[in-house]
Amino acid sequence: MCTYNFHNLFILSLIFFLPLISAVGSPINIWPKPRSFTWTTPHAIPLSPSFTINSPSHPYLTPSVNRYLRQIQTTQYNPLLTPLINFTISLPLQTLTITVSDLTPPLSHGVNESYTLTVPANTTVATLTVATPWGAMRGLESFSQLVWGNPARVATGLVVSDWPMFEHRGIVLDTSRNFYPVEDLLRLIGAMSANKLNVFHWHITDSQSFPLVLESEPELAGKGSYGPEMQYSAADVKRVVEFGLEHGIRIVPEIDMPGHTGSWAEAYPDIVACANMFWWPAGATWEDRLASEPGTGHLNPLIPKTYDVVKNVIKETTTLFPDSFYHAGADEIVPGCWKADATIQNYLAGNGTLSQVLEIFINNTHPHIVSLNRTAVYWEDVILDATIKVNPSILSPETTIMQTWNGGPDNTKRLVSAGYRTIVSSSDYYYLDCGHGDFTGNNSAYDQPPGFDQKQGGSWCGPFKSWQLIYNYDITYGLNETEAKLVLGGEVALWSEQADPTVLDSRVWPRASAMGEVLWSGNRDEMGVKRSGEATDRLNEWVHRMVSRGVKAEPIQPLWCVRNPGMCNTLNPVF
């Protein structure tokens, strides 16, 4: 009589149900590609059904460990192509042990996210050695991507030493023009963590709606939101912030002002210029428009009451969001809007300028932001706009960060040359909403005879920004070494004029994944050659894995290309 214990049965199941090698396949990869991945002899061993993760207790790392443990134990991920990796029938991997040097650092800009993951051959224990809990989260994601199959197997005999190239890697999402329920924000944050991004820049309010409920100014959301079911309560914000912490994602709020504030007029019509006026009057030149798109309204910096409301908004927002960055907006000040206000007309008649009006606003708000122990982030317009801008001397680089969205590398250079730390969101490369046409109705640009030049497809920032375009963009292009050090990183942006929860995943992923890898480990191989071609197969597989996790990322190629490696490449230059 022969007796089998559970381990014997587990090994037999692996022999019968898992092929040793596949005729067509690819190696297991990690996205984003690690800085150092040593795997001399690729092979895999079983993952124990009782696999565990040993980790020190931490309020945010512990939930992360539990989440990854559930994912690893239940996902049973099946790659698009069976990996060409020898499978060794041996003792299964039983444990991943996490060692953290310092559990105390908060999640903040510049926190150490490095990790070293070791999965030795011929052992039952893997190790993850990190400096902080936030590095542990990055390492856990990498480990999870080394597991596949049913029954599960894990890549072994490898060492991953990894750390980010840029400290700021984020996504801007506009929740004013169209509303996104909290569950959609959480799904976005979860996918960001999987891609080793670390900043959710939440553009909460704009001229179209003010969805953030503030106890100090309840009528802003009460009258300025799309309705009670399209508001974010303090409890909602706390949920998002806590979820971010459990995923290693900082939540940076943006309350855009003094422009983009038409929604404030529903509660305070007396402090908002040109509110509820038609954005581009018939017969007016573009220079005489009141807004750059439908939805007018700028705060009036010359009215004292403006600052009573603004300071309440800023103070309460900083209590809801603990991050040290506070995004104060200050983009797209349209001259026509302020000129339409009688108070500002009188000021201009006295030889004042619109730039001085903006300086009054910045001088009244920037010190307030700094007094709340925050670093102020502004869009580049505040010092680079051709018409309305402040003297940079009133915005100290020590307390101010700039975010660029126009002019590609030229504006990046202008900002860092002035000494500012800079976040890159160039609309030429990083705007995910571009290329979907214009949202204005009765637009004559679309009523043209056949054969007309469609130019940018009706989109001001078209064409569509493909993942390849994003992947090949170098955000420090044209900068010297000193200037490049001032580039904190980048953010792709999804403005929501033509986006909402129904298209969120496909608009963002996998294009944000492309940026994620570039900002984590670069877009060049060891020889300095762009690796977007090599990244294609890896990104196909990563899209498949994201979809298996519930993220509806869009495909980048037909499945035929995946099953016929190299056949969808081009060997000739394309112009």
The residues annotated with a catalytic role in the active site are: 332
CA distance 310 to 317: 11
CA distance 53 to 47: 12
DSSP 357-384: HHHHHHHHHHHHHHHTT-EEEEETHHHH
CA distance 139 to 129: 9
**For the chain, the helix, strand and coil percentages under 3-state DSSP, each to the nearest 5:** 35, 20, 45
Side chain identity, residue 52: T
Burial 121-151 (b: 16+ CB within 10 A, else e): eebeebbbbbbbbbbbbbbbbbbbbbbbbeb
List Cβ neighbours of 395 (8 Å cut-off, separation of 6 or more): 362, 366, 376, 378, 382, 383
CA distance 50 to 63: 19
User: What one-character DSSP code corresponds to residue 502?
Assistant: T
Distances (CA, A) of 145 to 96, 551, 575: 14, 15, 36
Take residue 489 and report the two structure tokens written for it: 């990183």
Q: Contact, 164 vs 519, CB < 8 A? A: yes
Three-state secondary-structure class, residue 159: strand
| Residue with token string 């990083």 | 430
Question: Is the peptide bond preceding residue 281 cis, with omega within 30 degrees of 0?
Answer: no
User: Checking DSSP bridges between strand 421-424 and strand 487-494, what pairing results, if any?
Assistant: parallel
CA distance 262 to 257: 10
HSE-up (13 A, CA, CB side) for residue 408: 9
Q: Which of 382, 464, 479 is nearest to 430 (CA)?
A: 464
Please, is 226 exposed, middle or buried when counting C-beta atoms within 10 Å of its C-beta (0-12, 13-18, 19+)?
middle
CA distance 465 to 467: 7
| Residue with token string 């309010």 | 205
Q: Which run of H or of E encompasses 129? A: strand 125-130
Three-state secondary-structure class, residue 468: helix
CA distance 531 to 448: 41
Three-state secondary-structure class, residue 534: helix
Task: Report, in angstroms and rounded to the nearest whole number, the Rg of the chain calculated over CA atoms.
Answer: 26
Question: Is the peptide bond preceding residue 463 cis, with omega within 30 degrees of 0?
Answer: yes
